[in-house]
Each structure stands twice: as C-alpha cells, then as structure tokens.
Amino acid sequence: MHRKFVILFIEFFTLLSFLLFRNSFSTEIVKSPDNKLTLILTIQDKPELFPQEECLYFTVIYNDTEIISESPLSLDINNNKPLKTDLRLFSTEINKVVDFIPTFNLENDSIPVKYNKITLHLQEKRPPFRFFAIEFILHNHGIAYRYILPAGNGISGNSIKQEKTIYCFPEDYSLIFPDTDKSGTQIINHILISDTSGIKNHKLPVLLKTKNNIFIKIFEPWHNNSDSVRLNPCKLVRNSVMIPRISVKTENTDGPGSRYTNWRCFLIGENPGIFTYTNLPFILSGNPEKENTAWINKGLYIDTEENISTDSLVSLIKYCSANNVDFIFLTEETFNSIPDKLSFNKLLRKNRVSFFLRVNEHELLNNLKTKIKIFADSGAAGIFVSVDAGKNLNGGLVKRILSECLTNRLLTGFQAGNEFTGLSADYPNFIIHTPDPEFAIKSKKDLLCFHTLLPFFNMTGTPTDLCGVSEKELTGKDSTASVYNLALNILSTSGLRKFNSTISTTPDTNITNLYYNIPFAYDQTKFINGIPGQYMIVARKKASVWYIAAISNTKSGTIELPVSVFDNSVKKFQVKVLFDTPSGRGISSSPVLVRNNSVLTTEKLAVILNPGKGYVAVLQPADQ
C-alpha cells in the first residue's frame, strides 16, 4: 500500500511538474487589424540547427505569401543566439489595441492607430532568474517585436534590449528596398530593421502627420556617438524609396547628456513610395567635413517612372510650403508625366517652392539647347546632372551645360553616380541652389565662394538681392578690392547694384564712370570659364559692346581668352581693362590698374585672376 502511494505520488509530482514548467503553447496565430498580415509563433525542435534544443520561431505571412519562414527569435543579434526553452513561460496575452502615437516636430496632436498585440511573459530557469517579456505588435503596415526588461537587476526603468520592425507593402506600391538579408538575398516588399539595443522606453514606429494629411513613418534608428550630428548622403534608387537619415536628439542611456540618433523615414500618402523627405546638406562647394561649407536645408526627391496625379502634386507642394521645404527634385520622366505644367508652375510660385530636374549626362548630349530651353520655359529653377559612378564628367560637356544654363538663367548642379562623392580635381562635386541670405556670410571666404555662384541664380531669387547692399552691411567691413565689386555688377543681373560703401567717394574715376554706365540688362551672355566656388568668368553683350567680368575665390594666374569667341565680324576692338593688384589692402591704398589698348580678333585677351580680386574688360569695336 505504501509502495503504491509512493508510485502515485511520483506520477502526480511528474504530472504537476510537467504542467508547471512546460511551455503553455506550441503554436499561436495573430493577425493584423486588416487581416492581411499573419504572425505564427511556434516552439519546435530543429536538431539540424540547434541540437537537443527546442526554440521559439516566428513566421510572417502577407496576403497568403510567406515572407519570413520559421525564423528563430534571438536574444543576441551579434552571434544569433536563439531564445531557448530554458525560459519559463508564465502567460500569453493577446489584445486588440487602439493607441495614440505622438507626432514628431510637425504637430502637437497624437494620431490614433490600431494594432493587435501578443505578449509572452517569461523567466529564466537558471540564475539570475530574470523576468522579461517578448512583445509582438501587428499593424496593418507591418510587424514589430521587442524584448522588455523590467526595472531591477541594474536597470532603472523598463528597457528595450532589442527591437526589430518588419514593414510589408502591397505590390502596387512598387517599393524595392536596396537592402539584403544575412544570406545576401534581396528583400522585396519588406525590410528587416536592425538592432536598437540600448534605447529606453521607446516605441516604434513613430508616425508623423502633416497638415495636408501626408504621413511620415519613422521606423529605424542609428546611434551616433559623436557630439555633433552628421547626416550622410544616401542612394537614389530608381522606382524605389530613398531612405535618408534624420537627426533626432534622444536620451543618453549610457550616462549623463544626450545622444543623437539617425532615423530612417519615408513618406506615405496618396501615392506611397513616391515622396521622400530629406534634410541632407547639399554642398555648394568644398568638403562637408570642413568649416565654411554652405548648406541647403530641406528638399524633396521624387524618383519614380510612374505618372504622378495632379492631386498628388498638389499635396506634395502644399507639404513643402507648410514645412519650409525649399525645393523638390523631379526626374525627367516624372516631369514629362505632369499633365498640366503651366498649372504646376503657378502652384509652385504661389507656394514659394522651386523645382530641379534630375537628368543624366547622356540624355543631354542630344538637343542640349532645346532641352534646357524647355526646362527653363517650364519654370524650373535648375537642373541636376547625374554622372555615371566612377566616371569623371566630360569637361567640354560641363562647359556647354553651364553656358546654356547661364543663358537661360537656370541653376546647375552635378552628382557622380548614386553618391555625393565628387567628380574630379577639375570639376569637384557641387550643387548650386538659392541659399538663405543669412547663409555662410561668416567670413570673407564664404562670401567669395557665394559670389562665384551669382551668374547662375534665378532673376527672381532672393540671393541676387545681396548685390543691392553694401559689403560693410553684410560683413562689417569694406571689400579689399574695388574692381571685384565692379565685376559683381556684371556677373549678377538682379537689377540691383553691388557697391562698396565708399565707392561714391573713390578717387578712381575709371571705377565710378564704368560703375554708373554698366547696363542693367544684356542681349547675350557667354559662360567663359570657371568652377563654382573657385572662380568665374562671364561675358555679357549689350548692343555691340562686350563686358567681361572675372572674380576669384581661390585661383591665381592668367587665362588667355581668344577674342574671336565674341564677334568674328569685327577685326579690331578697343579694350579697357581694370583689375585689382594682388597686394592691395583697401580701396584707398589698392591701386587699380587700368589699361587702354586695341586688340585684333585673331589675338588673345589675358584675364588676370587673384584670390579676392576682380577683373573687368570692356570691348568695343574700334570703328565706333
């Protein structure tokens, strides 16, 4: 009897132990609110992967298509250590949630969002017997999971140790992410988000809503350990979303102070996958790592071969206007798909938004003049020329593009391949855009760099207004070169004069006489030579008289210019040349050299360049 009782007790204890310590489920199935996404959680044995261990696996199905198949859940993403059955499962909860996600920067209101959630409460079976939870959240647009560690065990407050987000999109969104999974296979229609270990009390995703009902969904952070924020350029992939990085200041989990985190984001709206927001710095000239580099604050890229509806364009432009976005980029295909370009141009002007056209260098080889004329007549602010990666831009083509854009008052920019990597020593990577008047006028060097861009500024742009105020008002000091200021009035055609604050009292009558006789408008313009940010030489014609102006930021030397480029029908020109000497220190002490002579059409004109100095030549037919 006693022996029978012992056997019964052992059987009862074994059954009780099994009931207490066994995992309370073998399979759980949860769906998103719209039933398009399905999550399947299973505990199973895969000896070929993890011998003698049962693991927790998850499968994700979207519209009956399996996009993630039996992926083991891992606690350590670095060595892919799986979550094993030495963890005790206390309970499982499945809830339908209506949450309110805080907006970010754009509005103060919160946005309601529905999702379904399953939470697994677990404890380690071995020391230190920590408690934690695994939470899966299913939105209509994706799935996220994370580990939550409660306060204690050296942790102050709940801490999310690992969080991944998987977003899935319908096929008609035409989204292809240029990311790869661990096996090197391209991921289509979903993207797997990397580890966000160390972020406390953070909730993904953050949904941003603009005033025009365009949504921005932030879904991935990167840590930046430096004190300053560096926004890296990103690839533009045709027919896909470009994923830029936006800087967000977050609480530092490693100690006092704060940490900057870069977030990936994209816009979703009426035409998801078309609009992409970025606040990347676009370099006017120079190195982004160095000081005195001019930045442009905000822009929108639209990179798609699909047609864009009128309603989408209206939403896009209103978004730009509401959020101080200065400009948008359109591919030539997208531009051609706009049904009513006149209304599009009026809408842009009304909302004070400019647009650039992204074109490939090969597309400009044929009908260069015609294409740029069409772009200009359509109201474009400029063109952005894309060059094949690993190739230098053809110098002759650069000259032709700059010349045609200058004639049609279009801004000009160049990009090498898919990265802002620079073109060559002779033609560095740059993009020219109308900057804010307060930009980079912190030093003489910045101002000189800016002035080399003046010929390319649109007549309606505000930067040309800088030519109508004195140098002293801008920089607190007078220019070191008076011909330099004179040359700016030829380089710029804003209708406003650039002058030195003492120009009216200068003893040099050659300067004052020419200053008051420079035309406000011209009949013809030629781009002679120059590299934006370094130096610029431009010739403009009024009636039969040519005005040549040159300024330099960094270049020294002499460039010989064939006189025949102006007018072959004229045999001889009378020439007046004025230029600042390189040793001058101020308008009262810097001698302005003036040369009066004649030059034949078969001869060459020497254009003298010195940093911070100017050169002006006036060519008039000798028979006049």
Residues 373-426 pLDDT 10s: 888 887 777 777 765 544 444 556 666 776 777 677 676 665 543 333 222 223
pTM score of the predicted model = 0.38
Fold of 436-624: TIM Barrel (3.20.20)
pLDDT digits (tens, 9 = 90+) for 257-297: 323 233 333 333 222 222 333 322 222 222 233 322 222 33
Mean pLDDT of 327-353: 77
Cα–Cα distance for residue pair 97/36, rounded to 1 Å = 17
Q: Are 296 and 545 in contact (CB under 8 A)?
A: no
Which residues partner with 180 through β-bridges? Answer: 186
Residue matched to tokens 């992939």: 237
Q: What is the rounded distance in angstroms from the CA atom of residue 439 to the CA atom of residue 432?
A: 13
Can you point out the beta strands (E) in 453-532? 524-531
Nearest-angstrom CA–CA distance, 405 and 364: 12
Query: What is the DSSP secondary structure assignment for residue 438, as one 8-state letter?
Result: T
Which whole-number Å values give the CA distances from 67 to 34, 102, 319, in the listed order?
17, 30, 34
Q: CA 319 → CA 118, 215, 461, distances in Å?
A: 36, 10, 21
Q: Strand 557-562 vs strand 572-580: parallel, antiparallel, or unpaired?
A: unpaired
Among 588, 238, 219, which Cα is nearest to 386's?
Answer: 238
Which pLDDT band holds residue 619 (cuts at 50, 70, 90)?
Answer: very high
pLDDT score for 291: 29
The better pLDDT of the pair 189, 100 is held by 100
Contact call for residues 161 and 197 (beta carbons, < 8 A): yes
Dihedral class, residue 158 (left if φ above 0, else alpha if ψ from -120 to 50, else beta): beta
Identify the top-confidence range among 111-125, 200-214, 527-541, 570-584: 570-584
CB of 30 closer than 8 Å to CB of 8: no
Question: Lowest mean pLDDT: which of 309-318, 400-409, 438-447?
Answer: 438-447
Alpha carbon 13 to its chain's center: 65
> pLDDT tens for residues 3-18?
666 566 655 555 555 4
Would you kindly state where each structural domain of the chain is located, as residue ranges?
A: 22-209, 436-624
User: What is the C-alpha radius of gyration for the chain, rounded to an integer number of angstroms?
Assistant: 33
Q: What is 120-165 written as a DSSP string?
A: EEEEESSTT--EEEEEEEE-SSEEEEEEEEPSBTTB-S-EEEEEEE
Question: What digits encode the pLDDT tens for the residues 470-492?
Answer: 344 334 444 446 788 788 878 87
Indicate the range of 122-126, 149-153, 308-312 predicted with least confidence.
149-153
3-state secondary structure of 536: strand
Q: What is the DSSP letter of 95?
A: E
d(CA 166, CA 470): 56
HEC profile for 332-382?
A: HHHHHHCCCHHHHHHHHHHCCCEEEEEEEHHHHHCCHHHHHHHHHHCCCCE
